[in-house]
């Protein structure tokens, strides 16, 4: 079974913030594939179903972003899910708005939610889907930006990014990481430099 974990913060006040893109992608996958993500398990909301014929568990840790690993590690142990079957989806302030990067492994690159996952699982060989949220201008306070609601003018683009991210996760499950990377890794519109 695959485990698709979207990282975010529980609670209505965080629902429309950039920091909750991981949750939004899990919700979009659930909607598309008829999976109800409402079962409490290991401090996460979970749901089990199929994506393109593959058994999948969708999860939204309810521990707050920076402690995501304390939910995912026991969840994976309980259901005997190997780290190689985990796909972690989260926002990335180091990437420009609307960019998407699938990576098969690597460091947490300063992302505290991913840092927690890597520390609790004891490996950085984890597939991740990183969603670019940097607004393209200098930020006085990154945390303040992450936890502020997305501007109304960006809602349509955010919805497109959520669709694109859900498609990328489906491709990872159906076709494998390498093919999904070739198909979905993209720069932000109008950007000519490669960013990592």
pTM attached to this predicted model: 0.92
pLDDT band at 195 (very low <50, low <70, confident <90, very high): very low
**Cα gap 60→46, rounded to integer Å:** 7
Strands 127-134 and 100-103: antiparallel
Which residues are known to be catalytic? 19
pLDDT tens for each residue of 27-57: 999 999 999 999 999 999 999 999 999 999 9
Q: Region 79-96: what's the mean pLDDT?
A: 95
**Cα gap 7→9, rounded to integer Å:** 7
Contact between 65 and 7 under an 8 Å Cβ cutoff? The reply is yes
The pLDDT value recorded for residue 187 is: 67
pLDDT tens for each residue of 109-118: 889 999 999 9
Most confident option among 15-19, 52-56, 95-99, 108-112: 52-56
Q: Evaluate whether the domain defined by 2-184 bears CATH number 3.20.20.370.
A: no
Strands 100-103 and 54-61: unpaired
Nearest partner of 21 among 36, 38, 42, 6, judged by Cα: 6
The pLDDT value recorded for residue 134 is: 86
pLDDT tens for each residue of 153-194: 889 999 999 999 999 999 999 999 999 999 999 766 554 444
């Amino acid at each position: 079974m695959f485990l698709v974990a979207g990282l975010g913060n529980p609670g209505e006040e965080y629902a429309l913030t950039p920091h909750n893109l991981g949750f939004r992608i899990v919700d979009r996958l659930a909607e598309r594939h008829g999976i109800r993500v409402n079962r409490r398990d290991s401090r996460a909301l979970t749901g089990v179903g199929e994506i393109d014929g593959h058994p999948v568990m969708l999860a939204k840790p309810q521990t707050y972003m920076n402690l995501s690993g304390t939910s995912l590690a026991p969840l994976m142990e309980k259901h005997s899910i190997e780290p190689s079957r985990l796909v972690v989806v989260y926002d990335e302030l180091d990437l420009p708005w609307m960019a998407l990067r699938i990576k098969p492994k690597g460091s947490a690159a300063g992302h505290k939610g991913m840092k927690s996952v890597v520390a609790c699982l004891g490996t950085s060989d984890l597939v991740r889907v990183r969603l670019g949220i940097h607004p393209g201008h200098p930020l006085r306070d990154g945390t303040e930006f992450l936890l502020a609601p997305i501007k109304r003018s960006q809602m349509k683009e955010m919805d497109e990014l959520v669709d694109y991210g859900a498609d990328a996760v489906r491709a990872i499950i159906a076709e494998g990481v390498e093919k999904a990377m070739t198909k979905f890794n993209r720069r932000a519109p109008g950007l000519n430099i490669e960013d990592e």
